[in-house]
Amino acid sequence: MKTEKSQYESILIKYLPPEYIDMVVALLLKYPVTFKVVKPRKTKLGDFRASVKQEKPQITINGNLNPYSFLITTLHEFAHLINFNVNGPFVGAHGKEWKKIYAELILPAIELKKLPLDIESALLNSLVNVKASSCSDTNLNRTLIKYDKPEENQVTLETIDKNGIFVLNGKTFRKGTLRRTRYYCIETKSNKAYLVNGLAHVKELKDER
């Protein structure tokens, strides 16, 4: 019969860099939590939910993340779990308490020296002023997506010229001007305006300008 440790290892080998499996398994064994790998969600990479009616707290991680994104997102959500356990339900979600715990989880991952150098550098820079999530740190996110398996004929929106036409989530858009990290884009069919992240993966329609 498999031990709890070996069960976790057999699942996580599919999602994590192998050098970091022991780190995540140790967290799973230390902190009572329901840990689930779930279908991709458009609005978040991972999620933490506190315990309700004496049930275990729950962490969910999108199953389509590349191994390094999966690792960082998992540590992010464990920081929420530990913050909740230590500081209670009314502490700020991404306040100084969470940032301190997140840094304490990320630094050992960096110090293991098994991350690609560009991710290590981006993580160190992100710890200077920790963002609410890896998604909101443009430099870290840009580095992480280089390790995604790109879908056929997709590029990031920021690489398309202004007024270029692209498809995202089944809708066709014309690219406009940059507003901080998002581009002002017009859906060609409805003429509605949308703000689209510059790192979004889109399909460019080069012959339709």
Are 46 and 135 within one domain? Answer: yes
Answer whether residue 21 is part of any domain.
Answer: yes
> Is residue 7 scored above 60 in pLDDT?
yes
User: Both 29 and 109 in a single domain?
Assistant: yes
- pLDDT digits over 182-203, tens only? 899 999 999 999 998 888 888 8
Instruction: Indicate the residue among 108, 126, 145 that finishes a domain.
Output: 145
Are 8 and 76 part of one and the same domain?
A: yes
Element of type H or E holding 178: strand 171-179
Which of these, 105, 112, 101, 182, lies nearest to 141 by C-alpha position?
182
Residue 25 scores a pLDDT above 60: yes
Residues 112, 170, single domain; the answer is no
Looking from the CA of 171 toward its CB, the CA atoms found within 13 Å total 15
Cα separations (Å) of 198 from 42, 142, 159, 201? 15, 10, 8, 9
Which residue segment(s) compose the domain that 73 sits in?
Answer: 4-145
Residue 51 is predicted with a pLDDT of: 77
Q: What is the mean pLDDT of residues 94-108?
A: 92
Are 140 and 120 in the same domain? yes
Domain-terminating residue out of 109, 126, 145: 145
Collect all residues with Cβ–Cβ distance below 8 Å to 152 and sequence separation of at least 6. none
The two beta strands, 193-197 and 201-204, are unpaired
| Average pLDDT rounded to a whole number, residues 85-109 | 90
Calculate mean pLDDT across residues 29-50. 91
Residues 55-79: what's their mean pLDDT?
94
Query: In angstroms, rounded to a whole number, what is the distance separating the alpha carbons of residues 47 and 62?
Result: 9
Is residue 209 domain-resident?
no
pLDDT at 134 over 70: no
Mean pLDDT of the residues in the chain: 88
